[in-house]
Amino acid sequence: MAAGIASTKASQTLLSLAAAFPLLVCVRDTTFSLCRVHGSSMEPNLKHGDILVIRKADFPLLRRQKGNVDESLLEDIHGEDDETKTRRVREYEFQHFMAKEDATVWARWPPWPLRGQIVTYRSPDVYPPHLVIKRVVGVAGQVVETANGIKDVDMNSVWVEGDNAKMSTDSRDHGAVNQKLIVGVAEYCVWPPSRIRKILRKSDDKRAYWM
């Protein structure tokens, strides 16, 4: 009798796990996932073997209310008065963080990163594509000062570079990365234990700006 009860409980547990599996897969594919860092292109901020939590969607209703302005973006606009700067940044934020057709949408894929955030994306110059992790230096519509001159960032694209420039293949080699290739934004480092932390934006690189 006891064996029969144990067998029933085991079956119920397996059924529960089987029912939960599709939900877990959905969360991994659309909301958050884990990513392991390979190589040294993002040192010293990220090291080989670090495991990161990747956010794979934007959540406009949670991120900010319409009309609030990310002050760091104002610094990217050169040669304009404060009112014009604020208007242009609001237009940019509404376009990329709020839905164009419905400002009450709860999530959008893929996320649109801010300058200074670390992103993962599918490599545009390798087939089959593999995941790459770099930092956003410039966003759509900006220009970026590089060693090879000033580069325009196309609409629906971002300019990415590795923190360890000498060991990185990035937008300096393959150009800006289209939004469709972006997988997500790195939010936390969760392994190893000594490096557990939230991954912060690095907004002190002033090479990108709106003309």
CA distances from 55 to 38, 99, 101, 115, 119 (A): 19, 18, 23, 16, 9
Task: Count how many residues are written for the chain.
Answer: 211
Q: To 5 degrees, how large is the angle CA 159–CA 165–CA 171?
A: 25
Q: Which of 56, 134, 151, 168 is catalytic?
A: 134
Q: Reduced to 3 states, what is the DSSP secondary structure of residue 116?
A: coil
Active site annotation includes 194: no
Structure token digits, residue 52: 């990161």
DSSP per position, 138-199 = E-TT-EEEETTEEEE--TTEEEEE-SSGGG--SHHHH-PEEGGGEEEEEEEEEESGGG-EEP
Active site annotation includes 100: no
Q: Which of 11, 16, 40, 41 is catalytic?
A: 41
Q: Is-contact 171 154, C-beta < 8 A?
A: no
- Strands, DSSP E only, in the chain? 32-36, 51-55, 118-122, 131-138, 143-146, 149-152, 157-161, 177-178, 182-191, 197-198, 208-209
Q: Is-contact 155 176, C-beta < 8 A?
A: no
Q: Hey, which residues are catalytic here?
A: 41, 134
